[in-house]
Amino acid sequence: MKVLIIGNGGREHALAWKISQSKRAEKIFIAPGNAGTALHGENVPIKADDIERLKRFALKEGMDLTIVGPELPLTLGIVDAFERVELKIFGPSKKASIIESSKVFAKEFMTRHGIPTASFKKFTDPAEAKSYVRAQNIPLVVKADGLTSGKGVFVCRKSDEAISAVELIMEKKAFAEAGGSVIIEEFLEGEEASIIAITDGKTVLPLAPAQDHKPIYDGDKGPNTGGMGAYSPAPVVTEELEEEIMDTILLPAVKAMEEEGMPYKGFLYTGLMIKDGKPKVLEFNCRAGDPETQPILMRLKNDLLDVLALAVKGRLGEIKLNWDEKSAVCVVMASAGYPGSYEKGKEIHGLDEVKSTPGLMVFHAGTARTDNRIVTDGGRVFGVTGLGETIKEAIEKTYGAVRKITWEGAYFRKDIGVKALRKWT
C-alpha cells in the first residue's frame, strides 16, 4: 500500500515509524514531515493545510490510504475533499471535526447527551464574562472556543487571573478568531488521563490509556503547552474505569454524533479528569494526541496499517488490539521560550549517541535538516520515548537519552512519569 501521512510533528513521526513496520507498506510519504519522518519515508514539501495540493499529490501518486495527523486540515475539510474524488482517508469530516474546533459545541453536545463534564457558561461579550467571573468562586477555567494548539486553556486560581485570561482571549485577540467566544467552567480536581480511540463510526477501539503533562514546568506549574511529556499505561485508569469510560463517554459520543448527522470516523481523543474513580471529560479532540501517541505506539503490538485500513472500510469490529505489558515514557524537549516566542535554527548534538539504544525512539517534532545538520525548527523539538519493564526503568532510559541530546536553550520537564511511579511503588 502507498500511504500518505499529513503533518510534521512528533505524532506524525510516530505514525510513520509504526506504519513503516507493516509488511503492507509499500511506500510512505509524509507531508510536510520533518528530519525524523524522512528516516521512514519520503517527505513531501506540501503544508498540512494546503488541501488542494495534497489532494492532487494523492491522486497523482495513487495513494491507497491517507492518515491525517493534526486538527487543522481536518477542520478545513480534507476528508470531504479526498472522499469526493474516491481517495481513502482516515479522519473525521469537517462537520464532525467541530467536536474539537468549537469548545462551545463540545460542551453543549456533552450536556445534550448526558456525557459527564464540568459545568460551564459561554460568553461572546467580554464585559459579561468578566462580570460573571467576579461573582464566582475560584478556581475557574477559562477556555477560548476555537483551535489554539493546546494553549487556549487557563486554569485561574484568582479572579484577577480569570479576568486577564478573558482580556487576553477576547480583547487582545491572542488567538485571533478562536477567541471570539469563551467558556468559563468549574475547576475539576483529580488526576488527568487521556484515552485515544479509533472508530469507524460504529465500533470503538480504545488505545491504551496515557497521561499527558500540559503545563510547561515541573509540578504542573506555568502556562499550558501542547504537551511536555506522557506515559502509558496510566495507572489511574483501571480496567473497571476503562469500561466505564467506554460505556458512559466513548460509545455514547460516537452514537450521538451519528444521531446528530455527523458520523464520526477517525481518532477520537478524550481528555479526562479522574476523581474518586469517576471520569469527567475535559475536552474532545478530533485527532490523536501529541505526545500521547508516541508512548502508546511504542506499546502497540498490532500492525497499525491493518487496523486503520479496516477502520476506513467500516470493518473495525474484525480486529482486537494487543499491547506490550511494558511501560513507555515520552519526554518532550523544547526550545527556550516555548510556549511563547523562541528561536529556530539551533544545531542539535548527541542524536548519534542514543540512536542504537534498545527500546528507545527519538521522535522528531520541530526539526529540519540543513547542510547535513539537524537543527531546531519548532517549539517542541523531540519526544524522546523509552520502553522499560517497569515505569522506573522507562523513566531512567528516557532521561538517560534526554541528557545526551543538546542544543542552545534546550528545555524539558524533569518529572514526567513521577505520578505513575508513586502509584506503582
pLDDT tens sequence across 331-361: 999 999 999 999 999 999 999 999 999 999 9
Q: What does 214-241 look like in DSSP terms, one character per residue?
A: -EEEGGGEEEE-S-SEEEES-TTS-HHH
pLDDT at 150: 78
pLDDT at 421: 87
Burial class (CB in 10 A: 0-12, 13-18, 19+), 48: buried
Residue 424 has pLDDT above 80, yes or no: no
Distance CA 248, CA 110 (A): 11
Are the C-beta atoms of residues 274 and 194 closer than 8 Å to each other?
no
Distance CA 400, CA 386 (A): 10
pLDDT at 391: 96
Average pLDDT over residues 276-290: 96
pLDDT-derived band at 158, boundaries 50, 70, 90: very high
Residue ranges of domains in the chain: 2-93, 125-180, 191-318, 327-424
Average pLDDT over residues 70-96: 98
Residue 425 has pLDDT above 90, yes or no: no
Helix (H) or strand (E) holding 282: strand 278-285
The 8-class DSSP code of residue 192 comes to E
pLDDT at 409: 96
pLDDT at 192: 93
Superfamily of domain 327-424: Phosphoribosylglycinamide synthetase, C-terminal domain (3.90.600.10)
Q: What does 113-166 look like in DSSP terms, one character per residue?
A: TT--B--EEEES-HHHHHHHHHTS-S-EEEEESS--TT--EEEESSHHHHHHHH
Average pLDDT over residues 44-57: 98
CA distances from 152 to 47, 178, 310 (A): 23, 9, 35
Are the C-beta atoms of residues 166 and 160 closer than 8 Å to each other?
no
Average pLDDT over residues 355-382: 96
Are the C-beta atoms of residues 289 and 212 closer than 8 Å to each other?
yes
Give SS3 for 300.
strand
Nearest in space to 71 (alpha carbons), one of 282, 286, 269:
286
pLDDT at 422: 84
Are the C-beta atoms of residues 208 and 322 closer than 8 Å to each other?
no
Residue 188 has pLDDT above 90, yes or no: yes
Average pLDDT over residues 284-304: 98
Distance CA 358, CA 31 (A): 28
Lowest mean pLDDT among 4-18, 96-110, 136-150, 309-323: 136-150
Q: Does domain 2-93 have CATH number 3.40.50.20?
A: yes
Q: What is the pLDDT of residues 122-135, one digit of tens each?
A: 999 999 999 999 99
pLDDT at 36: 98
Instruction: Indicate the average pLDDT of the chain.
Output: 96
Average pLDDT over residues 83-107: 97
- Looking at the domain 191-318, which fold is it? D-amino Acid Aminotransferase; Chain A, domain 1 (3.30.470)
pTM: 0.96
Residue 109 has pLDDT above 70, yes or no: yes
Q: Does domain 125-180 have CATH number 3.30.1490.20?
A: yes
Cell 460573571, residue located: 132
Sign of CA dihedral 216, 222, 225, 230: positive
pLDDT at 23: 97
Contacts with 44 (C-beta within 8 Å, 6 or more apart), sequence order:
4, 29, 30, 31, 32, 33, 57
pLDDT-derived band at 279, boundaries 50, 70, 90: very high
Average pLDDT over residues 177-182: 94
Q: What is the pLDDT of residues 301-338, one digit of tens each?
A: 999 999 999 999 999 999 999 999 999 999 999 999 99
pLDDT at 99: 98
